[in-house]
A and B are shown apart, each in its own frame.
Chain A
């Protein structure tokens, strides 16, 4: 059977990601879509460490390592330099984790989007500060255990809602935003190729399952991404010139299918899981309504 995504690899084996790392698949699919003439800027995050110790590097494209909060600024600077030097036909990518995007990186992201920086910003979302050892971020979902939202004897967990970065990006009126999943590589590649062809600021939100952080058996890493989509925990959609377009309806499986694979949710009571189900259902209906009404 012929392959359904581009054959060429742009990452070498030997990077230091954990077994089953979802973020590894994000980088792999992204570069297959974008190709060789890509420059990637990476802040402090798992992927700042995964290329390995100097002088090794597992990427086949040039890589700029930057300070934690600076991705939005770095891609602005890169693009300005390439433009003033007349270097054409280069995709500039900011590749950052959830913490480096929705928390410490939010200001620079907002600035880059507002300035219509000609670049693609890919947030690989493992839903916590994983590189530093699983601390909660603004992108950690309601209900999750992390080291800074431990369960303890008081039945602790993250009580705040996950920041809706796609809504934030929509509010910046950028030409293109999309969610992608490592369990749906054809959709992933198609969206990145589409993003590549659009000028201006483009944002991609990739769910990146994390076996150690989610207390997940590594072999379920892709399956859990699949279930995230099918349960509507992480819907696949685009925002094209401000309008929502759902790209995969999903079966609407019960969230328990998704939750039961992950130890980070194992403390939740039946009532709490039910609360998650209700919230997910409401959000899904909301997304459908927005798509319907053209917003």
Chain B
């Protein structure tokens, strides 16, 4: 699984950055940029996001 971010929905709340166990999320103008090289696909960012702007998709899909 990997996270896909919709920056238009992002409220810049910083929760995704805060709760990422692997510190792979950078905030660029408050919007998450996720390092997919190191992301483990745990889905915490997706679950915790209040704006539901991070969606987990299966690797290999869109």
Interface class of chain A by DSSP? loop
Report the stretch among A19-27, A88-96, A126-134, A167-175 that lies at the interface: A19-27
The minimal Cβ–Cβ distance linking A189 to chain B, given in whole angstroms, is 10
Bitwise, A167-211 to B at CB < 8 A (1) or not (0) is 000000000000000100100000000000000000000000001
Residue of A nearest to B25 (CB): A13
Residue of B nearest to A14 (CB): B38
- Chain B residues with Cβ below 8 Å from A14 are 22, 38
- Chain A residues with Cβ below 8 Å from B46 are 219
The minimal Cβ–Cβ distance linking A187 to chain B, given in whole angstroms, is 13
- Chain A residues with Cβ below 8 Å from B5 are none
The minimal Cβ–Cβ distance linking B38 to chain A, given in whole angstroms, is 4
Contact partner, A222, options B23, B40, B44, Cβ 8 Å: B44
Bitwise, B1-24 to A at CB < 8 A (1) or not (0) is 000000000001110011101111
Quick one: given A1-B30, A14-B38, A219-B56, are A22 and B21 in contact (CB under 8 Å)? yes
A221 at the binding interface (Cβ < 8 Å):
yes
- Chain A residues with Cβ below 8 Å from B27 are 3
B42 at the binding interface (Cβ < 8 Å):
yes
Report the stretch among A4-12, A34-42, A99-107, A269-277 that lies at the interface: A4-12
- Chain B residues with Cβ below 8 Å from A221 are 21, 42, 44
The minimal Cβ–Cβ distance linking A226 to chain B, given in whole angstroms, is 10
- Chain A residues with Cβ below 8 Å from B47 are 219-220, 222-223
- Bound: A198/B46 CA distance, A: 37
Are A5 and B18 touching (Cβ within 8 A)? Answer: yes
Are A219 and B44 touching (Cβ within 8 A)? Answer: yes
Question: What residues make up the interface of A, taking CB atoms closer than 8 Å to B?
Answer: 1-5, 9, 11-15, 17-22, 24-25, 28, 182, 185, 211, 217-223
Name 12 interchain pairs, CB-CB below 8 A, sorted by A.
A1-B14, A3-B18, A3-B27, A13-B24, A19-B42, A19-B43, A20-B21, A24-B21, A28-B23, A219-B44, A222-B47, A222-B48
